[in-house]
């Protein structure tokens, strides 16, 4: 292809067209900037000068002057919510929802925002209604997760089950907390006076069915179901069945043995078979040591073989896993078991020293005698299946803080 000199004629023409287009665009920008309220530029100036409170006031004035600025409304609502000014955030999003000309996509956005406002403000009933309206929208997954949190906080386990099943269908994810919902229902029936055995049995059967599915089964969920089965058998007066479930837990969830050690001791003590239990728990402790298990094995040794055998076990155990809590529990068990009446003065003086040592050790073990959440670090004296801090399920270790150091 040859170059023709007359093509050069088009160069000035193209340059002129480009200059004209730029000029028109520049005029358009100037026109738009003139239409912007002065409050908008004041708000920007306050932001640049790190004066967020005055900037917010300026942007609120812009929103009043120009109600069509939906993005500014959303930005203000989010800012108010983050600052904890929930009433102002709700008013901003309510003003958007009140507009009849608001496009459906932005209406869904506003509904999602106000649902978050209600949730953070603790207005759970209104938050629930708002999230339910988001069904079959692009926010349905976030709404389903929020509804799960709401029902969990209200302990409305049947609704939580329904919500988490819906969430599972939306995301195709496994929902391990589902078994705990049925366990919570079972626990409620068990603590009712008198226990509601039929409803309890139904909830436990469903929990056991879920645990039987490999994709949703965890060591914690199996342990909890077995513990509830044992509790049901105990409430029904069937000591043999209770023992079966407790021993099954030792095999299937050995790290949770400390949570049932006292129940095992009571069960075997009722039939005078503590020697058999001592052998079983001593062997288990060597593989899966825990403070609760240490406590029971120490006491069983004391009752079966006397103080020397108990302290020999304690010395061996504490030398392998040094623990102030373990020492405190051994001292406590000895102080309760040692007879005071009828012993000589030297023995009584030894007991006084022992009691003093126990109190001194106890002062330093109070902060260690807690369970801790692996996610948020929330500590508590009781063991929780759901963390009271971050509300996560199965985040508590069955070992206390000192054992994890």
Is 390 labelled a binding residue? Answer: yes
How far apart are alpha carbons 293 and 255 in whole angstroms?
A: 10
The pair of structure tokens assigned to 206 is 């469903």
| β-strand partners of 371 | 380, 400
Q: DSSP 3-state assignment of 71?
A: helix
Q: DSSP 3-state assignment of 386?
A: strand
Q: Which single residue is written with the structure tokens 């006292």?
A: 262
| DSSP output for 123-185 | -HHHHHHHHHTTTTSTTHHHHHHHHHHHHHHHT-HHHHHHHHHHHHHHH----TTHHHHHHHH
Is 376 labelled a binding residue? Answer: yes
What is the rounded radius of gyration, in angstroms, for the C-alpha atoms of the chain? 34
Burial class (CB in 10 A: 0-12, 13-18, 19+), 33: exposed
How far apart are alpha carbons 200 and 366 in whole angstroms?
A: 36
Residues written for the chain: 405
How far apart are alpha carbons 366 and 250 in whole angstroms?
A: 28
How far apart are alpha carbons 336 and 298 in whole angstroms?
A: 13
The answer to whether 174 and 221 are in contact (CB under 8 A) is no
The pair of structure tokens assigned to 14 is 């193209």
Is 274 labelled a binding residue? Answer: no
Euclidean distance between the first and final Cα of the chain, in Å? 81
How far apart are alpha carbons 345 and 119 in whole angstroms?
A: 66
DSSP tag of 50: T
CA atoms in the 13 A half-sphere facing the CB of 168: 13
Residues in binding site for Fe cation: 373, 376, 387, 390
Residues within the annotated binding site?
373, 376, 387, 390
């Amino acid at each position: 292809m040859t170059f023709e000199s007359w093509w050069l004629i088009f160069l000035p023409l193209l340059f002129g067209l480009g200059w004209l287009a730029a000029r028109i665009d520049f005029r358009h920008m100037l026109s738009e900037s003139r239409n912007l309220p002065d409050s908008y530029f004041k708000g920007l100036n306050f932001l640049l000068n790190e004066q967020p409170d005055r900037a917010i006031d300026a942007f609120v004035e812009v929103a009043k002057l120009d109600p069509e600025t939906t993005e500014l409304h959303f930005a203000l609502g989010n800012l108010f919510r983050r600052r904890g000014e929930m009433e102002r955030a709700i008013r901003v999003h309510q003003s958007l929802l009140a507009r009849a000309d608001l496009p459906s996509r932005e209406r869904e956005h506003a509904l999602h925002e106000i649902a978050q406002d209600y949730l953070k403000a603790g207005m759970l009933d209104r938050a629930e209604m708002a999230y339910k309206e988001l069904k079959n929208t692009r926010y349905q997954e976030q709404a389903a997760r929020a509804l799960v949190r709401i029902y969990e906080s209200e302990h409305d386990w049947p609704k939580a089950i329904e919500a988490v099943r819906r969430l599972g269908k939306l995301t195709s994810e496994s929902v391990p907390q589902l078994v705990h919902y049925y366990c919570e229902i079972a626990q409620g029936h068990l603590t009712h006076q008198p226990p509601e055995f039929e409803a309890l049995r139904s909830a436990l059967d469903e929990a056991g069915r879920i645990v039987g599915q490999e994709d949703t089964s965890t060591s914690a969920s199996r342990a909890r179901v077995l513990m509830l089965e044992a509790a049901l058998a105990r409430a029904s007066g069937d000591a043999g069945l209770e023992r079966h479930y407790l021993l099954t837990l030792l095999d299937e969830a050995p790290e949770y043995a400390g949570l049932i050690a006292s129940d095992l001791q009571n069960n075997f003590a009722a039939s005078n078979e503590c020697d058999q239990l001592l052998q079983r728990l001593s062997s288990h402790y060597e593989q899966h040591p825990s403070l609760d298990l240490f406590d029971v094995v120490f006491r069983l040794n004391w009752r079966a073989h006397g103080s020397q055998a108990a302290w020999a076990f304690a010395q061996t155990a504490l030398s392998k896993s040094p623990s102030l809590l373990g020492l405190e529990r051994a001292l406590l068990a000895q102080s309760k078991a040692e007879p005071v009446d009828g012993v000589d003065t030297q023995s009584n003086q030894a007991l006084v020293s022992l009691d003093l040592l126990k109190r001194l050790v106890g002062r330093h073990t109070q902060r260690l005698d807690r369970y801790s959440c692996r996610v948020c670090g929330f500590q508590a004296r009781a063991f929780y299946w759901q963390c009271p801090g971050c509300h996560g399920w199965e985040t508590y270790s069955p070992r206390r803080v000192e054992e994890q150091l």
